[in-house]
Amino acid sequence: MSPSRRFGTSLASQLLRTPLPPSTTRTAFGRHCYHSYDHPPAVAVSYGSTEQAILSAAYTHVPQHGFSQRALALGAEDAGYPTISASVLPDGAFSLIRYHLVTRREELSGKTKTIFGEKNLGAQQLSTAARVEQLTWERLLGNKDVVHRWQEALAIMAQPSYMPSSLKELSLLADDIWFLAGDTSVDPSWYTKRASLATIYASSELFMTTDKSEGFFETRDFLRRRLEEVKQMGSVVGSVSQWLGFTANAGINVLRNKGLRI
Amino acid sequence: MVPRLPVRDLTSRMLPTSSRRQLSTSSKTNAATTETRSTQHPPPGKRKPLTKEQRDFLSSALRVNQAGELAATLIYTAQTPVVVARHPHLRPLMKHMYDQEAGHLDTFNALIAKHRVRPTALYPLWQVLATGLGWGTALMGREAAMACTEAVETEIGDHYNEQIRTLLEMVAEWEADGYEVGPELRDLISTLRRIRDEELEHLDHAVEHDAQKAEPHWLLTGVIRAGCRGAIWVSEKV
């Protein structure tokens, strides 16, 4: 047996031994579940060391080779593993896409301090809506280096077997952005806020793939307009429900004044 | 050897065998590692990460508590004008009970936001049902309104007691293994205790104010208690 082959088999067994949980278990663990500050989970939501090495090396080849097996193979080589070892990754090219989604999302919490840090020291505090816009924009900029490859990635993400995993990542992103923006709503708007932000993010991301403007300023405007629309929509719904509540209350009080014991 | 995750163990663990859930800090799958751990104590000040089951338990506990306190504030809001119109002397009592419930709701709202727990998806449904329950019992008279409070607070008291018991077991197991328990959980336990005591105080107030003279008392409290248990069961999940 040649040394490289022996190395290959030991690598394969090593990869197989390090638990590579299917995508669902990894993300489901952190999904809208009690987030402890005193007793944080032992393993952060990230990758095993071998997987991490291959994926991060492969990621640098994405701008040139796209989210593909080729990029994975080159990454495995760079990381010092045989080219074939990339095929041990469970979802092939999609694992590279998910790596992009997860790492870019996890970067946001670190960036929050640099984005809002200086501004918070000043007297003016940004509103939650402004923070949401800022964070969403920051996340969109995370796609900057791979934006010419992103349509291919979207096509892979839309495949039925990867769809649930992609949507889960999208919902985690929306949840993270609202949390980092300091939103504390715990009524049904919790759901509508996340759903509308996820929709806006996905459409802005698609818009960005065809945006040729300087610094993607057209995408930024697109994002701003969509968020503004949702805000107006929300205030209309709020006003209507407030009016309905007031009218119903007033009606009951009139009846009570008439002597009805209700 | 690679410990394979026995799915059967997990599911049997997740399905409550009794009405109260046992949340072990160590699952059977890593029994081997816990054995070595118990012989050599962890360094002082080390905190054990929460397991998946414990996080699930805490999420559903906070979610159901928020839903419960929301319902309680709405029940009192709906009852107050009707009851007070007929019995003005009950105004301070109703206000006192409402104020405490509003305080509890604020507490759980803050906890849910802090710990990033999803609020219940049936929020609007609980709003409608609770308002209807409060208004309906108030229309039936002072005794019925108090019987409603009696039934609700009995169920809620039991429910909080179960949660406190589960949390204390969890903490006791950590301490037995030599781990430290963070202030977050200690505060949660003391908050739950305080709120439980206040709920049981409402129960006493209700009984003092002729809750048991409602006609038919057994039917009214039976229906409301069954409804509460159903709502708690659903809110823990959805």
Two tokens, residue A69: 């097996």
Mean pLDDT of B100-118: 94
Instruction: Report the distance separating Cα B83 and Cα B23, nearest Å.
Output: 43
Q: Under a CB-based contact definition with an 8 Å cutoff, are residues A75 and A61 in contact? A: yes
Q: Flag whether B104 is in a domain.
A: yes
3-state secondary structure B70-137: HHHHHHHHHHHHHHHHHCHHHHHHHHHHHHHHHHHHHHHHHHHHHCCCCCCCCHHHHHHHHHHHHHHH
Q: Residue B190's domain is classified under what CATH number? A: 1.20.1260
Alpha helices by DSSP H, B115-213: 123-139, 142-176, 183-208
Q: Flag whether B4 is in a domain.
A: no
Range of the domain at A78: 3-257
Q: Under a CB-based contact definition with an 8 Å cutoff, are residues A190 and B118 in contact? A: yes
The rounded Cα A222 to chain-centroid distance in angstroms is 19
Q: Under a CB-based contact definition with an 8 Å cutoff, are residues B101 and B76 in contact? A: yes
pLDDT of A5: 47
B86 contacts in chain A (CB < 8 Å): 261
pLDDT of B33: 42
Q: What backbone torsions phi and psi does residue B47 show, to the nearest 5 degrees?
A: -110, 140
Q: Residue A24's domain is classified under what CATH number? A: 1.10.357.10
Return the residue in B4, B10, B30, B50 with the most chain A beta carbons within 10 A, the one to mutate for interface testing: B50
Mean pLDDT of B159-172: 94
Two tokens, residue A164: 């649930």
Asked if the Cβ–Cβ distance from B47 to A186 is below 8 Å, we say: no
Q: Flag whether B41 is in a domain.
A: no
Q: Flag whether A173 is in a domain.
A: yes
Per the annotation, binding residues of B for Fe cation are 69, 101, 104, 153, 199, 202
Asked whether the predicted pLDDT for residue B189 surpasses 60, the reply is yes
Cis amide prior to B6 (ω within 30 degrees): no
Q: Under a CB-based contact definition with an 8 Å cutoff, are residues B232 and B155 in contact? A: yes
Q: Flag whether A262 is in a domain.
A: no
Q: Flag whether B11 is in a domain.
A: no
Dihedral of CA atoms A83, A86, A87, A93 in degrees, nearest 10, equals: -120
pLDDT of B222: 94
pLDDT digits (tens, 9 = 90+) for B59-91: 999 999 999 999 999 999 999 999 998 999 999
Q: Flag whether B22 is in a domain.
A: no
Provide the domain count of chain B: 1
Q: What is the pLDDT along chain A (262 residues), one digit of tens a residue?
A: 444 444 444 555 554 444 444 433 344 444 567 888 888 766 555 677 888 888 999 999 999 999 988 999 999 999 888 888 777 787 888 999 999 999 999 888 888 877 776 555 444 577 888 889 999 999 999 999 999 999 999 999 999 999 999 999 999 999 999 999 888 889 999 999 999 999 999 999 999 999 999 889 999 999 999 999 999 998 999 999 999 999 999 999 999 889 887 7
Q: Flag whether B179 is in a domain.
A: yes
Nearest CA in chain A to B59: A34
Range of the domain at B163: 49-237
Which among A29, A184, A261 has the least Cβ separation from residue B113? A184
Provide the domain count of chain A: 1
Q: Flag whether B210 is in a domain.
A: yes
Q: Flag whether A8 is in a domain.
A: yes
Q: Flag whether B17 is in a domain.
A: no
Q: What backbone torsions phi and psi does residue A237 show, to the nearest 5 degrees?
A: -60, -40
- The sign of the CA dihedral B168, B172, B174, B175 is positive
Q: Flag whether A125 is in a domain.
A: yes
* More confidently predicted of B71 and B32: B71
Mean pLDDT of B133-145: 93
Distances (CA, A) of A89 to A70, A86, B172: 13, 6, 41
Return the residue in B117, B128, B171 with the most chain A beta carbons within 10 A, the one to mutate for interface testing: B117
Minimal CA–CA distance to A200: which of A133, A126, A102?
A133
Two tokens, residue B226: 């069954």
Instruction: Report the distance separating Cα B20 and Cα B169, nearest Å.
Output: 12
Instruction: Report the distance separating Cα A141 and Cα A163, nearest Å.
Output: 23
pLDDT of B41: 61
